[in-house]
Amino acid sequence: MYEQVIEEAKQFIETLFAGNSGGHDVGHTLRVYQNAITIAQKETDCRMEIVALAALLHDVDDHKLFSTENNENARRFLKQQQVKQEDIESICQIINLVSFSKNKGRHPDTLEGRIVQDGDRLDAIGAIGIARAFAYGGEHGRTMESSIDHFHEKLLLLKDEMNTETGKEIAENRHQFLLDFLCEYEKEMKGL
């Protein structure tokens, strides 16, 4: 039903995130979308189009990038596309529950929300998670050591916060990659 809206959403984020690099570029959103679709395909009774739209729009009102209130960017886009009001509400509810920093320890109560949250978290671990952590550090003028601290404060905890079986499986490999990286990093730092 919303096939065209999903295509339009890809265009919308392409434009909206133009000029951003590192942690929150359009690549991040597209990977979260892909992760979420991969997970959703393994679930039964899941509203794929809601998952797709929530994933594509999950960062369009992120306060670190935009000073919008009440999901203004997402709502304006979805209204323009004539998405049903109740679906707009479902999508915004998911978006608001996805972020780890805003919702420490909270899990969305819908399957669709849980899937998008897993999709977002998967992009913070593994090789991409490592690249993003150092890109974030660079953007904020921080030391490499501060990105390593972030591994311990956040990234290494994500594996146990996954909602879905598919998410857990993918997270397991990516988590191991973080551990291997840290091990090698510490070894090289010691001159070994």
Q: How far apart are CA 7 and CA 155, in angstroms?
A: 31
Selected from 48, 99, 138, 185, the binder of ligand ADP by CB under 6 A is 99
For residue 61, state whether it binds Ni ion (rule: CB under 5 A). no
For residue 67, state whether it binds ligand ADP (rule: CB under 6 A). no
Q: How far apart are CA 68 and CA 92, in angstroms?
A: 13
For residue 100, state whether it binds ligand ADP (rule: CB under 6 A). yes
Q: Count other Cβ atoms within 10 Å, centred on residue 62.
A: 17
| Residues 6 or more apart whose Cβ sits within 8 Å of residue 191 | none
Q: For residues 23 and 139, is the Cβ–Cβ distance under 8 A?
A: yes
**Residue nearer to ligand ADP on the CB measure, 87 or 120:** 120
Kindly state the smallest distance separating residue 59's Cβ from Ni ion, in Å. Answer: 5
Binding site for ligand ADP (CB under 6 A): 23, 64, 99-101, 120, 124, 129, 132-133, 136-137, 146-147, 150, 155
Q: Which residues bind Ni ion (CB under 5 A)?
A: 59, 120
